[in-house]
Amino acid sequence: MIIGIIPARYASTRFPGKPLIDIQGKSMIQRVYEQASQAKCLSDVIVATDDERILEHVQSFGGKAVLTHPDHPSGTDRCWEAVQARAAYRPWPPMGEQIIPPLGARGLYIINIQGDEPFVAPEQIDELGAVLDGSVELASQMIPVSDHEVLFDVGEAKVIVNQDFEAIYFSRQVLPFLKGVDPKEWHKHHTYYRQVGMYAYRSDILEKITQLPVSDLEKAESLEQLRWLQNGYKIKMGLTSYESHCIDTPEDVEKVLRLMNS
């Protein structure tokens, strides 16, 4: 069983209230919710928010939402509170007739769907869901890098994987270094990947990683997933062809619309 949870903070530093912004007649959070609800792998979709306005708005269009603590340090922590709330108190009927497994069961997964990607493809969510076989602890997605400017963009997290497509390391820098090759040509001589998309957590692992202290590698790179790797957890990386189109600032709205229309 897989539950989709959409963390949605009102108090964004760069773009306060962005889940409620209008995008061609619908709020951003409604668009994310409707896209996620089309994913075939999800048994339920829930918005996890820190604000009553978002909660009431989601309920107004027939969506499911739960109010969570305002001071969560990450979307991962907000997901854990939301799934606990769903298991303990369910003021809504399930999407299907499945009975929710115990939170510690290997058969229960949570996919963290970004609340600022209004055009996330349901098929991309299904791609991630397809790798969750019960043995997978954590999962995410990656896409090959075919442009040297993207490769050297420190805003993009790159990932190197082992032969089983499990993450070895994530970095904002380019790994591996190619000795004797012009850096502008690196992507032509080695297959580099950057992380895109979402995280999936097995519920028993989600509980454990939310109790871990911030690690030194996480602080160095400002990448939460390094905390999990540093503590011995495995992250399965699935290939995807779908790009992520996030909205972080008001200017991003028009940019994303242009990309989607083209």
What span, in angstroms and rounded, lies between the C-alpha atoms of 117 and 206? 22
* Residue bearing the bigger pLDDT, 130 or 107: 130
Q: Write the pLDDT tens digit of every residue in 66-78.
A: 988 887 878 898 8
What span, in angstroms and rounded, lies between the C-alpha atoms of 207 and 108? 12
What is the pLDDT, as a whole number, of residue 94?
45
What is the pLDDT, as a whole number, of residue 23?
87
What is the pLDDT, as a whole number, of residue 99?
45
Kindly report the backbone phi and psi dihedral angles of residue 120, in degrees, each rounded to the nearest multiple of 5, phi listed first.
-60, 135
Q: Write the pLDDT tens digit of every residue in 122-145.
A: 999 999 999 999 999 999 999 999
pLDDT greater than 80 at residue 110: yes
pLDDT greater than 90 at residue 83: no
Average pLDDT over residues 9-16: 74
Q: Write the pLDDT tens digit of every residue in 29-54.
A: 999 999 999 999 999 999 999 889 99
> At 22, which CATH number?
3.90.550.10
* Residue bearing the bigger pLDDT, 101 or 21: 21
Most confident of 13-17, 170-174, 240-244: 170-174
What span, in angstroms and rounded, lies between the C-alpha atoms of 173 and 179? 15
Please state, rounded to an integer, the average pLDDT across all residues of the chain. Answer: 88
Amino acid found at 144: P
> Percentage of residues in the chain with pLDDT exceeding 70?
89
The CB-side HSE value for 151 (13 A sphere, CA atoms) comes to 21
What is the pLDDT, as a whole number, of residue 252?
77
What is the pLDDT, as a whole number, of residue 103?
54
Provide the domain count of the chain.
Answer: 1
Kindly report the backbone phi and psi dihedral angles of residue 159, in degrees, each rounded to the nearest multiple of 5, phi listed first.
-135, 140
What is the pLDDT, as a whole number, of residue 9?
86
- Predicted TM-score (pTM) of this structure: 0.89
pLDDT greater than 90 at residue 64: yes
What is the pLDDT, as a whole number, of residue 13?
64
Residue whose C-alpha is closest to residue 5's, from 148, 161, 114, 129: 114
- Give residue 92's pLDDT band: very low, low, confident or very high (50, 70, 90): very low
The SS3 assignment for 195 reads strand
Average pLDDT over residues 153-174: 96
- Give residue 93's pLDDT band: very low, low, confident or very high (50, 70, 90): very low
Q: Write the pLDDT tens digit of every residue in 184-195.
A: 999 999 999 999
What is the pLDDT, as a whole number, of residue 96?
43
What span, in angstroms and rounded, lies between the C-alpha atoms of 233 and 42? 24
Asked if 86 contacts 46 with a C-beta cutoff of 8 angstroms, the reply is yes
- Give residue 260's pLDDT band: very low, low, confident or very high (50, 70, 90): low
What is the pLDDT, as a whole number, of residue 201?
96
Kindly report the backbone phi and psi dihedral angles of residue 156, in degrees, each rounded to the nearest multiple of 5, phi listed first.
-105, 130
Expressed as residue numbers, the domain containing 236 is 2-261
Distance of CA 137 to the CA centre of its chain: 15
Numbers of helices and strands, H then E, in the chain: 10, 11
Residue whose C-alpha is closest to residue 141's, from 163, 126, 119, 151: 126
Q: Is the peptide bond preceding residue 176 cis, with omega within 30 degrees of 0? A: yes
